[in-house]
Structure 1
Amino acid sequence: MKQRIVTAIIAAAIFLPIVIFGGSLFIFLAYLLASIALFELLKMRKLSLFSIPGMISLILLWIFLIPTQYEGVLDNINYTKSELGLLAILLFLTYTVASKNRFTFEDVGFSTLAIIYVGTGFYYLIETREADLIYIFYSLFIIWATDSGAYFIGRAFGKNKLWPEISPNKTVEGFIGGILCALVVAVLFVYLSDIDATLMQLLWITTLLSIFGQIGDLVESAIKRHYNVKDSGNILPGHGGILDRFDSLLFVLPLMHFFHLL
């Protein structure tokens, strides 16, 4: 527990000032975190980032992450993100032949989905910060409240397992408790911040975000269980990897945009 607390304090001391400052430094941080997350995913599948398909995956991720204000760079080469994505898939498939199926069709699918999974979440991390700092803090506090509520209420009152095949320690009571704690945070944001939403709007959006944040956590647990790994990485002592810390945000941030909160 002491190691977890020390790591959390150090990470927050680095992460939060960069988030507040924003700009190019924040974009660089998002690129760095996304690249590490992709590395962690590929490693689960025993695919090396430092290989031909690994490099294709990384380059495509970086293209995917290009913020809206810089997409004019792609106009200069006359290609869209979608077109470059299709080109990457063709290169992946070509490599299945060149590697004599050591890199398989299943590996192509995994690599492509890994790029979309990681890239979508971190792209919207950049876009959310560009929209307004308040939404970054809102999403972080919603996730922290959900995680804390699910943990403490689950420990105190949890009797019914939520999804034991995926995450044995999570309970239905904890799941509901996490949502309730997130709703408390939503009320505080309506009355104590300048977030552009009414109480009713924020309550229903927060309910959905809390639910999907917990689903994001379960999704990453399912991936780890499938590949028989305990943590996605060890870059954060006591916490695991970048994916272990950002699994909920990878779901919450895109949905904030899809629900038109921003």
Structure 2
Amino acid sequence: MKQRILTATLIIAVVLPPLILGGTLIDLLMLFCLVTGAYEITHCLKTPRKNLLMIAMIGVMIALALISPQFLGAGLALTMVVLFAAAIADPKLDLNDITLVFAMLTIFTMAVRSIISIYAQNSWLMMYVILATYLTDTGAYFSGYFFGKHKLIERISPKKTVEGAIGGWLCGMLGAFVFALTMLPELSMGLALFGAATMAIVGQLGDLAFSLIKRNVGIKDFGSFLPGHGGILDRIDSLLFNLLYFTLILAMVV
């Protein structure tokens, strides 16, 4: 636990300035996560084409993150066609490889566009999403550690418990809701509560979704870059889902 807490403290110290200041710092942070995430997801595959897929994935994600929104759908469709063509032509690529790569580059691309959209409205909205995500994660960890008795979904994540999930939901919901009431007066009380309560659920779904990927490819963590936490993907899995989800909420209410 000490290692986990120490690493978490260092993560906060490194990422908090970019999250607050935005601009070039948040661009560099996003680029780092894209490159590291692409490395981690491609290098958990069994194909010998890991490096080629990683380079292609990074290039496509950056291109799709920068193009005009009206061309995004066409860009994703073209990417899918090219990946299938590559798998057809190269016997060292299979359907599982290209499916996972396509799913992940889509999630990453949409997450980057979500961050850009959120910062264009109010940088404190990003902190709202961050708090809903990581207070849930922290609350789930400690609730599960001290009170966990009943397994949540053992076939996917043996250590997660029902008690941890409930404790995480309460922490994420309450923390993000109070933050919204304090720092985001433009959000109605109902919207602030709805967003906090549902993101505390969606974030946990994201965590479980990435745990399912790890089970499928036979790994415990995506990497070891963050001692006590695993890889970058092990830390941003919940956030990726919440970024996409919260952008959907904003699109529906704006």
TM-superposed deviation, 1:249: 0.4
Which runs of structure 2 are paired with 1:245-260 in the superposition (5 Å)?
Answer: 245-260=235-250
Which residue does 1:144 correspond to in 2?
134
TM-superposed deviation, 1:36: 1.1
Q: 1:97 to 1:178 in 2, by over 3 A?
A: closer
| Distance of 2:187 and 2:163 partners within structure 1 | 29
Structure 2 residue 205 is the aligned partner of structure 1 residue 204:
no
TM-superposed deviation, 1:195: 4.2
- Structure with more of its chain in helix, by fraction: 2
Larger displacement relative to structure 2 (40-49 or 242-251): 40-49
* Unaligned 5+ runs, structure 2: none
AA of the residue aligned to 2:156: I
Which residue does 1:158 correspond to in 2?
148
Larger displacement relative to structure 2 (90-99 or 56-65): 90-99
Q: Is the contact made by 2:143 and 2:164 (CA closer than 8 Å) also made in structure 1? A: yes
TM-superposed deviation, 1:123: 2.9
| Distance of 1:35 and 1:195 partners within structure 2 | 36
Which runs of structure 2 are paired with 1:63-212 in the superposition (5 Å)?
Answer: 63-66=63-66, 71=67, 80-99=71-90, 101-212=91-202
| Distance of 1:228 and 1:105 partners within structure 2 | 17
TM-superposed deviation, 1:167: 1.1
| Distance of 2:183 and 2:107 partners within structure 1 | 31
AA of the residue aligned to 1:50: N
TM-superposed deviation, 1:49: 4.6
TM normalised by structure 2 equals 0.88
CA RMSD of aligned residues (A): 2.3
> Residue 158 of structure 2: SS of its match in structure 1?
strand
TM-superposed deviation, 1:97: 4.2
TM-superposed deviation, 1:237: 2.0
Q: 1:187 to 1:206 in 2, by over 3 A?
A: closer
AA of the residue aligned to 1:38: A
Larger displacement relative to structure 2 (15-24 or 239-248): 15-24
AA of the residue aligned to 1:141: L
Larger radius of gyration: 1
> Residue 166 of structure 1: SS of its match in structure 2?
coil
* Unaligned 5+ runs, structure 1: none
Equivalent in 190, 199, 217 of residue 227 of structure 1: 217
Q: Is the contact made by 1:22 and 1:129 (CA closer than 8 Å) also made in structure 2? A: yes
Q: Is the contact made by 1:161 and 1:172 (CA closer than 8 Å) also made in structure 2? A: yes
| Distance of 2:242 and 2:185 partners within structure 1 | 17
Deviations 1:170-217 (A, max 9, x none): 222221222212232134224422342122222122111101101111
Q: 1:203 to 1:194 in 2, by over 3 A?
A: closer
TM normalised by structure 1 equals 0.85
Q: Is the contact made by 1:143 and 1:248 (CA closer than 8 Å) also made in structure 2? A: yes
Which residue does 1:21 correspond to in 2?
21
Q: Is the contact made by 1:232 and 1:240 (CA closer than 8 Å) also made in structure 2? A: yes
AA of the residue aligned to 2:110: T
| Distance of 1:126 and 1:170 partners within structure 2 | 32
TM-superposed deviation, 1:252: 0.7
| Distance of 2:99 and 2:229 partners within structure 1 | 28
Larger displacement relative to structure 2 (163-172 or 246-255): 163-172
